[in-house]
Homo-oligomer: A and B are copies of this chain.
């Protein structure tokens, strides 16, 4: 794709709209995006902030989606920035749209306003986890579909494979998350899904993988339902912070050498935990909808917003969406 337009939800995020304006400025300065490539969705903004981004296209939209807005409600809020942004995706006025707002509302706008890609029943949240081999490990679905059927695993695999191509993973191996590697393990949905993926010869399907191998090089894409995927993600986060907490306690009680050791390793430990905390990632892709849709974390600061804009820009340039339409 030659020229791309990336929309950003002015009202998404705990510190919006100010954080979004700062994020846009950060992206222009540090990520080398040009003002022509960015579109601000929302116009209720301070005079001061407005002056800073006067060279950008601004599309009027209302600040009407809050953290309390239910996923179904947003579909009635047709003047909200989320609705307007997703409608622009659908109409190809935008190639990508980034929001740090209410996740449920964004998934709902993406699915029903931007609309699903042909042949896709279930768009999903797709995330790249760290791994021991330093190759990214892709998790689909990270939380969009709490209720699934076996056939939806087929969509999840397609979405994961497209994302793997974007990340330069060749012939990516697809595994299904299960509680054992034997055929009879797990529940009926997982077993049926496994048979479906086996049948699709274009997939490099490697069978079941277990959560204890999450960070090992046993596959590139882990497919699971959104309920399990989201629990796995939050368990990773909880465990990492628990380890950090326990280490701090040990250090508090420890002698001089323990305290020295902690001092020397402090930086390494912190960077490790932030590597595991998915909230520190730039953004999560909601793949399977008409256009690149990226959810940035609610507490995103300027740099996080800029990262999400940049990754959306790259995905749009790569034509990520086309890669799903096998």
Interface set of A (CB-CB < 8 Å, partner B): 70, 130, 132, 143, 146-147, 177, 179, 184-188, 190, 210-216, 226-228, 230-243, 245-247, 250-251, 254, 257-258, 260-265, 268-269, 272-273, 275-276
Contact A146 B185 (CB under 8 A): yes
Specify the chain B residue showing the minimal Cβ separation from A233. Answer: B211
**A88 CB to closest chain B CB, in angstroms?**
28
Contact B269 A247 (CB under 8 A): yes
Contact A243 B187 (CB under 8 A): no
Q: Knowing A265-B247, A265-B265, A275-B246, say if A234 contacts B210 (CB, 8 Å).
A: yes
Q: Knowing A228-B231, A234-B179, A261-B264, say if A239 contacts B254 (CB, 8 Å).
A: no
- Complex formed: what's the CA distance from A250 to B216 in Å? 17
- Complex formed: what's the CA distance from A263 to B258 in Å? 9
7 tightest A-B CB contacts, nearest first: A261-B264, A211-B234, A215-B242, A261-B265, A179-B230, A239-B239, A212-B234
- A250 to chain B: which residues have CB within 8 Å? 265, 268, 272
- A70 to chain B: which residues have CB within 8 Å? 184
Contact B215 A238 (CB under 8 A): yes
* Number of copies of this chain that the complex holds: 2
- Complex formed: what's the CA distance from A237 to B235 in Å? 10
Contact A187 B147 (CB under 8 A): yes
What would be 20 A-B contacts, judged by CB atoms less than 8 Å apart?
A132-B242, A146-B185, A146-B186, A179-B227, A179-B231, A179-B234, A211-B238, A213-B238, A214-B239, A215-B238, A215-B239, A227-B228, A236-B239, A240-B243, A242-B276, A243-B272, A243-B273, A250-B265, A261-B261, A265-B265
- A212 to chain B: which residues have CB within 8 Å? 234-235, 237-238, 241
Specify the chain B residue showing the minimal Cβ separation from A103. Answer: B180
Contact B247 A272 (CB under 8 A): yes
